[in-house]
Amino acid sequence: MRDVPADWLAPPDLSAAAKVQREIAAAGETADRVGPVRMVAGVDTSMRWRDVRGPIHAAVAPLPWPPGEPLPAASVTMVPRIPYVPGYLGFRETPAIVAALRRLGAMPDLILVDGHGRAHPRRCGIATHLGVVADVPTIGCAKTLLCGRVEGELGPAPGDRAPLVDRDEVVGVALRTRPRAQPIYVSIGHRVSLETAVAWVLKLCDGRRLPLPIRLAHDAANATRRAAEVQA
């Protein structure tokens, strides 16, 4: 972990948050700076349906690489300072994910995030936000578009892709990971090039739409939420 300004996690208002996002985006690295990968992890969060101010449940699900049995996930339940506001998800979820990472013990060498990276209006989706704050290579894997448009024809076969363009900048790709399934949207988070990000996503999908680490994190975050609701 790196030391970051306090407002990178808890800005006083949305105007300040937008400024912080531009600062984080400027600090994000778009070229490969990934060391040997011995552990890859997925991160995801869960919350009660439409409860935009209540607690979120964050999970980090580590997987050894080369792939073996998944390791125990680390999870945290936290009431965020900021409610859900489209485009500012990083401020709501990153503090809880960072807390879960601290519980994990060993920092993963690469993290796949259920969300966007640079495919964001200010180039600071949650994958970039988390990557810069935690100083770890990250990849954004989102199920829906936040900004931009897909240019060209996206083929039907796994591995087919088409550029995702926003304001004349390629910010990610629409990637087919499974035949006849909807594409996912892959973008740079931090310290991973787009080409490398796509390669990792394809290696980790194992015939499913979403990469295994993200599926494991999704299950762990939902299990944490259910356990918290039982205790409430």
Give domain status of residue 95, yes or no.
yes
Give domain status of residue 1, yes or no.
no
pLDDT at 52: 75
Q: How many domains, the chain? A: 1
Alpha-carbon distance 78 to 99, whole Å? 9
Q: Which residues of 179-214 are buried (b: 16+ CB within 10 A; e: fewer)?
A: eeeebbbbbbbbbbebebbbebbbebbeeebbbbbb
Q: What are phi and psi of 129, to 5 degrees?
A: -55, -50
pLDDT at 51: 81
Give domain status of residue 130, yes or no.
yes
Give domain status of residue 189, yes or no.
yes
The per-residue pLDDT for range 51-62, each reduced to its tens digit, is: 877 899 999 999
pLDDT at 133: 97
pLDDT at 53: 78
pLDDT at 48: 86
pLDDT at 151: 97
The per-residue pLDDT for range 102-129, each reduced to its tens digit, is: 999 899 999 999 999 999 999 999 999 9
Give domain status of residue 97, yes or no.
yes
- CATH code at 59? 3.30.2170.10
Range of the domain at 212: 6-231
